[in-house]
Structure 1
Amino acid sequence: MSFQTDKPAYQIFDAAGKKSSYKSILEKAQKADIVLFGESHNNPIIHWLQIELTKDLYRNLSESQSKGKKSKNNLILGAEMFEADNQTIFDEYLNDIITEKNFEAEARLWNNYKTDYKPLVEFAKENQLTFVATNIPRRYASLVSKKGLSSLDSLTDDAKRFMMPLPLEVDLKQPAYQNMLKMMGVHSTDENEKINEGVANFAYAQAVKDATMAFRINEYYKKESEKVENKNSIFLHFNGSYHSDNYESIVYYLKKYNPSLKIMTITAVEQKELDALGKTGVADFAIVTPVSMTKTY
């Protein structure tokens, strides 16, 4: 009888499928403008590595700033899990204006907030970091899913503050959206207008999320960079892996809004075995965890 001598919780690979390390992720992240940390929403190892990367980036940036005598840490956090129209509530909590009870009651938090995202929010609060609620309000994504992109035109100017600029161009030939359409039974996107409108709206709803997150990431990155002397900020963003895998979706719109950005991506993968990466080229780094890993929900 043979016994396994170790039970690794995760293995990191680079884009080419070569085994890599957390140190490599940290080193490359420090050279990026935007880091998109794609997650599996219920994976505890991924959430642990998210807070560890946040802490390490903050520490390293603080040490760098102490040498340059800058007063503000230039690490910015943001997440898909928080909606743009809750930014005021977010800011009020981070700045000790409202209580934790009020914040958690009013911010439409995900059910796994306390186990998976609260550590990030509390770290931002403790260290006075900007934390951006990047996602489009779900009611507007739902509106697009039901009535199409043109339905956003009927919203008030006040409502439009919480999304990407209109009109939005969506290329349904992007693989990320093609895959969604295939799930709905569409096998060709050679001519977008031939796709059933209701089915296309499913992909459009995803696109408004991607575009809004990209727009808000870029806008806050520019704004916060202006507050530090060397304009060298890092925006660390947390999102489901499908929003940044294959350098599409959020990455696509970020490049449209600001082609000069240096973007790094991380993806979360679950496999039976950790010895080799099943699919390469999906992100700059893949964090592979066993399928048997305990879930947070």
Structure 2
Amino acid sequence: MKKTTLVLVLMLLFLNTIQAQHKYAYKIYTNKGKSISYGKMIKKLDVADVVFFGEFHNNSISHWLQLELVKDRSKKSNLVLGAEMFEADQQSALNDYLEGKLNQKALDTVITLWPNYHTDYKPLVDFAMENKLPFIATNIPRRFANEVYKKGGFEALVPLTQEQKEWMAPLPIAFDINLPQYQNMLKMMGDHGTVDMVKAQAMKDATMAYFISKNLKKQTQFIHFNGSYHSNYKEGIVWYLHQYKPSLEIKTITTVEQENIEKLDKENFDKADFIICVDADVTKTY
């Protein structure tokens, strides 16, 4: 009996030593902090009509896994892709690029792309082009969101032309200032936080949800890329999408960074169905 116990102790010490010799850039957890493999996560996404991938915009692991997830999900589902990083008035130019009517140099001159587009989002767009997948520009034009923030809330959008209003969620939109994530925004901004600032965020969330709902197709999975705050705790875009399509099966992924990734910090529980926990030392893309 003593010999068996000693063997078990030695085996555990050996396994711990081996594990300590490996450096992991990230680990994936469920919403309750249980470790899960990438393969199992991909399989559990089978049931989803919509998958939200919440990123840190400068996190290299987020961007790499986004592309890997799209490659792997495309083997199992027909896909539609969409992203916060494209605004609805850019859809025509984006379509021209996807159809080969514009090259990258031309696209760069026709629309304003995010500064990290070429390293972080172009691989997703090019995958869509190569595989003839729709890629939806879901966000409200930034200038209109700024109008909400600076000029009196949703009412600032009323004078816009009918064409301009087609680039956003239909007015009036539902708005709940008491949603925890919106309340947290106000707290984070302190004296600089205003209700109109939160309304600008809500207008982005509502618009992204609206264009996702408009582009859903039967037997197709929509994968959406956005900053993690827009979908954490299934609020933001997810909350609005449920207003448009209450019966949808939605799965969420988020990104967090920790100094120690061997165990998910409790403060990161429940942020999403699947939580990609990245070592804080991982190289940033900008």
| TM-score (normalised: structure 1) | 0.87
Q: 1:30 aligns to what SS in structure 2?
A: helix
2:54 is paired with a residue whose SS is: strand
1:132-180: CA deviation from partner (whole Å, max 9, x where unpaired): 0100000000100101110011111110000001011210000111011
Q: Using the alignment, how far apart are the partners of 1:130 and 1:205 within structure 2?
A: 27
* Offset, 1:262: 0.5
Q: Helix, strand or coil for the counterpart of 2:183?
A: helix
1:19-45 deviation digits (Å, cap 9, x = unpaired): 011112211222100000000111111
**Counterpart position of 2:201:** 206
Corresponding residue of 2:228: 241
Q: Output the aligned Cα RMSD.
A: 1.5
In the aligned structure 1, how far is the partner of 2:109 from the partner of 2:236? 31
Pair 1:293-2:276 in alignment = no
Residues in 2 aligned to 1:105 and 1:119: alpha-carbon distance in whole angstroms: 19
Structure 1 segment 80-95 matched on structure 2, within 5 A: 80-95=84-99
Structure 1 residue aligned with 2:12: none
Cα distance in structure 2, aligned partners of 1:245 and 1:173: 15
For residues 11 and 260 of structure 1, what CA distance do their matches in structure 2 show? 31
Give the partner amino acid of 1:261: L
Alignment correspondent of 1:27: 43
One-letter amino acid matched to 2:238: V
Which structure's CA Rg is the greater one?
2
- Secondary structure of the 2:271 match is coil
How far apart, in 1, do the equivalents of 2:148 and 2:128 lie?
A: 32
- Matched with 1:111 is 115
The residue that corresponds to 1:157 in the other structure is 162
Aligned structure 1 segments of 4 or more residues deviating by more than 3 angstroms: none
Structure 2 alignment gaps of length 5 or more? 1-16
Structure 2 match to 1:66: none
Aligned residues: 266
Code of the residue aligned with 1:295 in structure 2: it is: K
Ranges in structure 1 where 5+ consecutive residues have no aligned partner: 62-73, 187-195, 226-230
Partners of 2:256 and 2:190 in 1: how far apart?
A: 26
Deviation, structure 1 residue 130: 0.1
Q: Which residue of 1 aligns with 2:272?
A: 283
**Cα distance in structure 1, aligned partners of 2:224 and 2:99:** 20
Of 49, 59, 62 in structure 2, the residue corresponding to residue 46 of structure 1 is 62
Identity %: 51
Q: Is structure 2 residue 182 aligned with structure 1 residue 177?
A: yes
Amino acid at match of 1:133: A
Alignment of 1:109-148 (within 5 A): 109-147=113-151, 148=153
* Candidates 76, 97, 103, aligned match of 1:99: 103
| Cα distance in 1 for residues equivalent to 2:58 and 2:248 | 30
